[in-house]
Chain A
Amino acid sequence: MNAPAPDLAYIRQRAHAMRRHVLRMAEIVGQGYVGQGLDITDLLAVLFCGELRFDPADPKWPDRDRFVLSTGHYAIGLYAALAETGVIPLAELDTYGADGSRLEMSAPETTPGVEMTGGSLGHGLTQSVGMALGLRLDGKSARVFNLLSDGECQEGSTWEAAMAGAHHRLDRLFAFIDCNNQQADGPPARIMGIEPLDKKWEAFGWHTQRVNGNDPAALLAALATAKATPGCPHAIVLDTLMGRGVPLFEQREKNHFIRVSPDEWSIARRQLEEAAP
């Protein structure tokens, strides 16, 4: 039921496998949130391949840790993690975004392993607070891990929930803020400045760290520190690189929603394998 203890080489291999899944899904639809899928796989590998307590055969196991995807469009990354850990079949990834598929472009809660319907940004942390309150009231040790984005910190509800998490001292609540510096209309600094995010979370009463979100070792260390700090919720601000692992996508200027020409996929796959751990 529990994944093996965290081992850096192991996590890097699983993250690489997840990146392959991301490219596999993206190539079928020819476009999409490839950049986000690739930038977040290091965190997903750390969480799904060692940290999260869950049962792939029973995604609704009441004692499971919750992974709450607020940024519904990161579904491509979550599906990669769910397939890699056996919650959904690998072959199903080929239906990503297809009519009638349960692997919708923005993750719906009807899909196994998806705790809530994200996508309308600013919901995830509010529901995560409720889940953490509920689990604590039930005397369960299960934890709640919420993934949100830098742009999402422009939503007022994120800060309403941040207040509530600190006020209710939810120390089994973890928020990961993916700062890939790219929202729909461009970089946050140009759209609506939100930095310094780490200082903001800290001021809201969260135990806060800021790390390189594409460095599994840094992620593991930050998680260990967070877990050893009781009495308040935990924010881990992640600086990540859109398209991480595929230089072709890393270097795209507008990479919130990538359009890829058919001949580029073989380049992308080759670049990914050149960086294999």
Chain B
Amino acid sequence: MSTPRGVTGNILTSATEGAANTVNAPFGHALVRAAEKNPRIVGLTADLGKYTDIHVFAEKFPTRFFQMGMAEQSLVGCACGLARTGFVPFATTYAVFATRRAYDFIAIGAALGRANVKIIAGLPGLITGYGGTHQGIEDLALMRSVPNLTVIDPCDATEVAQATTAIAEHDGPVYMRLLRGQVPVVLDEKTYRFEIGRARLLLDGADVAIISTGLMTGRALDAARDLAAANIRAAVLHVSTLKPFDADAVASLLARVPRVVTAENHVVTGGLGSAVADCAVANGLPVRLRKVGIPDCFCESGSLPFLARHYKMTAPDIAAAAHDILK
């Protein structure tokens, strides 16, 4: 008898299904809390309200919510117009649609004039099994290269909530990746403080530095625990703001710990790994670096555990990269 095979699940099947500790719709609820304080906050979506958790806001503030239909250029352009009349629009869709279909509207409409628009992008990277059409694998590279834009990839429910509060208070265009539905908790909300542009050292260690972003930070922490069992002390620096990039924090870690593994839920070209490499070169730091992330390809469809293993994105893959670099 053959081994049971995984199957592609619902489009929204969580990448971390089965996690013990989760929070439901952290973005939607944090947005409601922000909107209770600030009446200028409005919400928009392009036919993906419940798929991006903004339905929580829409139910609470129906007159401040605008359904734009399946039209992402109109979604972003309209958000820019709302910003120009003094509102703080949060516009949600999937990362693939925001960045591939509405790039010019983000770049020219929002970023060029620093319009106070927040683009919230669902299904980042390998968080859906629906293949190249739905997996936003290169969005960070695109968004990181747009001047004036702030780019955030939160790692868990705690950070999604805190980052939502922070960007609501921040004056300027933001692109934030979204974790939605039942989102695992990795960071302790009592001790963790998200700040735009600040990387956080979650774990210190002198043997190898793991620099991670987005949901890969949870796997980086798991990898660090595995490495500790093998007597390898790993530091984990979580870089949730890709832009502005916390070059000081990264450079000071690289200066101390020159063997580096980067981990990102994104192609390894133009994302976190590239930013870390740029930072090392700019600071004249001789480092050995391995990038864990999606290779230069469109990914297959499939179950999420299968995809994570197939593209070497698991915690053991991060630990293996660390072992490799320490050889």
Contact = CB atoms under 8 A, between A and B. Distances in A.
Contacts, number: 99
Given A116-B113, A163-B69, A163-B71, A157 B86 contact: no
Contact of B74 (A117, A135, A163): A163
Contacts of A117: 108, 112-113
B119 to A, nearest CB: 14
Given A62-B86, A163-B71, A129 B78 contact: yes
A76 interface: no
A167 interface: yes
Interface residues of B, number: 28
A71 interface: no
A164 interface: yes
A123 B97 CA distance: 17
B296 to A, nearest CB: 29
A107 to B, nearest CB: 12
Interface residues of A, number: 30
Nearest to B114: A109
A33 to B, nearest CB: 19
Given A123-B105, A126-B74, A167 B82 contact: no
Given A117-B112, A127-B109, A168-B66, A134 B74 contact: no
A137 B76 CA distance: 18
B86 A127 contact: no
A138 B85 contact: yes
Contacts of B113: 109-110, 116-117
A157 B74 contact: yes
A128 interface: yes
A3 B112 CA distance: 32
Contacts of A161: 73-74, 77-78
A260 interface: no
A187 interface: no
Interface in A118-140: 120, 122-123, 125-135, 137-138
A137 B42 contact: yes
A122 B109 CA distance: 11
Nearest to B76: A126
Given A62-B86, A161-B74, A164-B74, A130 B105 contact: no
A156 to B, nearest CB: 7
Given A126-B77, A157-B77, A133 B82 contact: yes
A116 B117 CA distance: 14
Contacts of A167: 69
Nearest to A131: B81
A160 interface: yes
Contacts of A126: 73-74, 76-78, 80-81, 105, 109
A115 interface: yes
Contact of A131 (B63, B71, B84, B104): B84
- Which of the listed residues A117, A127, A128 has the most CB atoms from chain B within 10 Å of its own CB? A127
B63 A130 contact: no
B81 A156 contact: no
A132 B87 CA distance: 12
Interface string B193-227: 00000000000000000000000000000000000
Interface string B102-116: 001100110011000
B267 interface: no
B80 A160 contact: no
Given A127-B109, A160-B71, A115 B84 contact: yes
22 contacts: A110-B113, A116-B84, A126-B73, A126-B77, A126-B81, A127-B77, A127-B80, A129-B74, A129-B81, A130-B78, A131-B81, A131-B84, A133-B78, A134-B84, A135-B85, A138-B86, A157-B71, A157-B105, A160-B73, A160-B74, A163-B71, A164-B71
Interface of B: 42, 63-64, 66, 68-69, 71, 73-74, 76-87, 89, 104-105, 108-109, 112-113
